[in-house]
Amino acid sequence: MNLPVHSLEAALPFYETIMGFRLITKNDQSLRFAVLERDGIQIGLSENGGDPSQDGCFFEVENIADAFGELKTNGLEKEISDFSNQMHGDTSWKVFYVVAPDGLCYCFGERQL
């Protein structure tokens, strides 16, 4: 995944501190990018000229309250009242959104039975 950011240096602390990712690879050459990993999931951030406010991704979690609690413990400033229920196809999800300081939007969702 090649998620756009304006500045890797400005973006990386949020992903490492708040979201708990670990830096795997970083390239400071002409196309600056970084690959981060957490729990077997990798994401890529890139200074590729894209608009971060128009991009993001979805993380499926087993327990939405635990995921939210971990982010809060790590310093996320967001309220639990921001949870909502949404239908996507035939699947119901309990979700919350996090907008990173770089403008990327992340949806965290727990499948509802």
φ, ψ at 5 (rounded to 5°)? -135, 155
When computed from its CA atoms, the radius of gyration of the chain, rounded to whole angstroms, is 15
Q: For residues 44 and 39, what is the distance between their CA atoms, to the nearest angstrom?
A: 15
* Residues in the chain, pLDDT under 50: none
What's the pLDDT score for residue 30? 81
Which residues is 56 bridged to in the sheet? 105
Is residue 43 helix, strand or coil? strand
Amino acid, single-letter form, for residue 109: G
What's the pLDDT score for residue 84? 93
CATH superfamily of 3-112: 2,3-Dihydroxybiphenyl 1,2-Dioxygenase, domain 1 (3.10.180.10)
pTM: 0.90
The two three-digit tokens of residue 3, written as one number? 């998620």
